[in-house]
């Protein structure tokens, strides 16, 4: 009696399943072996990468912040007051951009730095545009939510 096509298919499916079941372990062990063997290499690679890219940045991170604060004391003050108001719950971080309505992370844009709590909440693109259109170059200060004030 000859097997039907379906039966043949089923048989080959089973065979390949069995193959993978038997060889999966081998493959995984091989991978693990590779990683173990190269652990040092990988670690060195990352160490080097961080030395070149990560740590250098972190080293002058505080300098950049301090420089920014000295350059723009009024902005630093506004930022400080805003942060305090946010912490105290006086101001709530909105979930969308006031200009285009895009939901997501918003940046605080100060219309007037002497009015620390007079803020426009803008998405990244709108904020950038706002600074460009006002010919107010975007002075990027390191930070998170209040990257640009
Ligand atoms: Zn926007
Ligand atoms: Zn701004």
Which-ligand-closest: CA of 97? 1
User: Is the CB of residue 148 less than 8 Å from the CB of residue 106?
Assistant: no
Given a cut of 70, whether residue 134 has pLDDT beyond it is: no
Please, which pLDDT band fits residue 75 given cuts at 50, 70 and 90?
confident
Residues in the chain: 149
Starting from the CA of residue 122, give the closest ligand.
Answer: 1
Kindly tell me if the per-residue pLDDT of 6 is higher than 90.
no
Instruction: Grade residue 140 by pLDDT with cuts at 50, 70 and 90.
Output: very low
* Boundaries of every domain in the chain: 5-59, 61-133
Instruction: For helices 61-71 and 73-88, give the axis angle rounded to 10 degrees.
Output: 110
Instruction: Rounding to the nearest 10 degrees, give the CA dihedral for residues 62, 92, 98, 142.
Output: 10
Distance CA 53, CA 115 (A): 38
Please give the mean pLDDT across all residues of the chain.
77
State the Cα–Cα distance between residues 23 and 15, nearest whole angstrom: 12
pLDDT digits (tens, 9 = 90+) for 11-58: 888 888 887 777 777 777 776 666 667 777 878 887 787 777 665 555
Contact 123, 145 (CB under 8 A): no
**Cα 109 to ligand 2 centroid, rounded to whole Å:** 4
Determine the average pLDDT of the residues in 88-110: 91
Question: Quick one: which ligand is closest to 72's CA?
Answer: 2
Burial category of 149 from C-beta neighbours within 10 Å (exposed 0-12, middle 13-18, buried 19 and up): buried
The Å distance, Cα 134 to ligand 2 centre, comes to 10
Q: Under a CB-based contact definition with an 8 Å cutoff, are residues 62 and 143 in contact?
A: no
- State if pTM tops 0.75: no
CB 99 within 8 A of CB 122: yes
Instruction: Identify which ligand lies nearest to the alpha carbon of 130.
Output: 2
Express each pLDDT in 113-128 by its tens digit. 888 888 899 998 998 8
Ion ligand 2, residue ranges at CB < 5 A:
109, 148
């Amino acid at each position: 009696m000859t097997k039907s096509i379906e039966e043949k298919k089923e048989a080959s499916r089973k065979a390949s399943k069995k193959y993978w079941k038997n060889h999966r372990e081998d493959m995984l062990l091989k991978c693990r072996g590779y990683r173990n063997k190269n652990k040092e290499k990988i670690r060195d690679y990352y160490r080097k990468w961080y030395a070149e890219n990560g740590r250098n940045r972190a080293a002058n991170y505080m300098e950049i912040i301090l420089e920014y604060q000295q350059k723009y004391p009024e902005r630093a003050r506004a930022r400080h007051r805003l942060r305090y108001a946010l912490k105290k719950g006086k101001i709530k971080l909105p979930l969308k951009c006031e200009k285009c309505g895009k939901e997501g992370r918003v940046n605080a844009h100060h219309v007037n730095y002497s009015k620390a709590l007079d803020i426009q909440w803008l998405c990244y693109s709108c904020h950038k545009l706002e600074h460009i259109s006002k010919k107010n170059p975007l002075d990027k200060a390191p930070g998170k939510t209040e990257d640009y004030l």
